Structure 1
Amino acid sequence: MRSKFFIGALLLLLSVSAAYAQDYLKGKVIDSGTDKGLSDVFIKNVTKNKITISEADGKFEIQGSVGNLLIFSSSGYLSDTLVVIDAQSLNIRLKVNPALLKEVNINSSKSFDPHTEYPEIYTKSKVYILSPSTIFSKEAKNARRLKKYFAQEEKEREIDRAFSIAYVSSLIPIRGNELQTFMAMYRPTYDFIQRTSGPTLAAYINDSYIRYKALTPEQRKQSSLTGQ
């Protein structure tokens, strides 16, 4: 009986060891202009279809190995793509997006559904009182952070659908970079979109354009940088 228990425990230990023996890539994402670590940068290993987001100090860890393709994206920054040629600590420098237009980070497709594409995130994010690993493990904590991130991105997508370039440009006579600056300055909140009808949103855009025209070029630049 004891031998069976010992063998069972040994097999469990070996399986756990094998799970933790998987290759992981570690690194840090920083702002190329300030060298500050960037939090909540969405990181996807396209090769292995694994995802994570960076910590508060910009550090990250994701399952992967040499030869894998990684994509780093964050609102307000130009996305960066990297083919891993060295498994040593990776330093990723993201450049500010000169367009200053709020971007959806996860996927450009409006049909993207994280619940369908990454169901394991929602499974691993669940907390079970009798299972300490679902509360304290790094994997569980990361899953909960990703779940929260997905929820916010879904809200941003809803704003994008209502406050689209096509719709805004149909109401006001500016285009190109100036239109992008205007949209970055006056991007509505999710709560506003939720309680707003079409005519109310149109009125908001027109009123915002009146305020925008009253600004000097320097004021427009400063307002777009501060988000006000």
Structure 2
Amino acid sequence: MKNFALIWIFCWLLSPHWAHAQRDLEGLVYDVVTKQRLGEVYVKNLRTQEAIYNNSRGEFKIQVLPGDRLQFRKLGYNADTVEINNQVALIINLKETIKQIQTVHIYGRRNPDDVRDELKRDYKKAYDIAAPKELLSVGMGGAGLSIDALYNMVSKEAKNARRFTQFLDKLHRENIVDYYFTPELVRNLLGLEGEQLKVFMRLFRPTYDFIASNDHYQLVKYIKSKYEIFKLHPNLRPLRELPDIKLDVNKEK
């Protein structure tokens, strides 16, 4: 009976079901010219519609099956699509494009990438502490767990550093939206001024995902389509932000 079970398991492992089981595929994304790693790259499995962003070190991990197609997009770069066969890992090289929005519609604003690089220099220690460390270390005595990496996972300093860098990453994405979705652009397209312009900007501010995955033409099309809604509801106003209410749940009565 035991031998029969072992034979059944062996056959199942060799079956097409196992051979085509979904797996995690890891990879890196580089700038094809500078050879620098690229972060904030949008990675999408076109079959499953699963989408992720890679990390600041250019690394990504996503589930795939043979035959799947992965799409890679980053603001300011040509998109690339790769078909998955039996690759153990992927190396993706993206080519920078001409930033049409920047050359035509940007008026004296600092490039968000320059701002982010400056923040990384100013807060280098926080980024160094927040960076993931290898859990396994290899030395003269063989492989073992890295005490420094374990400490970095659980220490209060490391947790605070990760929260801080995550906040800066979120701020960077908001800066990118502001960089392209500008009052000057909306004013030139729609002729709005004053309070109407402010209301439109708040009501129809696009998301970072939209800005990162679309070009200037799509942004203009988006703004004009939202203006049709705005004209139908001229008195529409953004909801007021609710105040933060802090409750002391540990307070004893």
TM band (smaller chain)? 0.3 to 0.5
The structure with more radius of gyration: 2
When normalised by structure 1's length, the TM-score is 0.46
